[in-house]
Amino acid sequence: MKASTAVTTRHPFDYLYDLPLFSVNEDVPVEEALERAADLMMYVEALSAADAFRDKSLGSAIVQTLSEMAKALVKSTQQGEGEATA
């Protein structure tokens, strides 16, 4: 019997008014999702350290968006922990 692999749950993020524009898809292996979140945070760190943007508001928006994506990935791996599934 094959051991079950932990997977993500659907997790919407980046809302416009009350509607989510994006979401993490369900059924992605948690290990893969966390690796991608770590990659995104590495990009955030590199962009922040490089002072790469003349337009600081653009740089801030990019860093914020990448951070929100990483946060959504992590949250999608944690939703439902300790809850009974129907």
d(CA 64, CA 48): 11
Please state the domain extents for the chain.
11-77
pLDDT, position 80: 56
- 36-53 per-position pLDDT tens digit: 999 999 999 998 888 777
Side chain identity at 78, as an amino acid letter?
Answer: Q
d(CA 59, CA 64): 9
Beta bridge partners of 16: 19
Which residues have CB under 8 Å from 68's CB, separation 6+? 13, 14
- Cα–Cα distance between 25 and 33 in angstroms, integer? 10
Per-residue pLDDT at 78 exceeds 50: yes
- What pTM, to 2 d.p., does this model score? 0.80
pLDDT at 84 over 50: no
